Amino acid sequence: MRLGIEDIDAREGVVPEDEPEYAQPSFVYMREIETKYMASTNYMDHQGDLSWRMRSMLIDWIVGVHWRFSMV
**What confidence tens digit (pLDDT) does each residue in 8-67 have?**
666 666 666 666 777 788 888 999 999 999 988 898 898 899 999 999 999 999 999 999
Give the whole-angstrom CA distance, residue 50 versus residue 56: 10
Q: Which CA distances in Å does 52 have to 10, 16, 29, 46, 64?
A: 51, 42, 32, 12, 18
pTM exceeds 0.75: no
Give the whole-angstrom CA distance, residue 8 versus residue 1: 9
Beta-carbon count within 10 A of 54 CB: 11
**What's the pLDDT score for residue 39?**
85
Give the whole-angstrom CA distance, residue 32 versus residue 29: 5
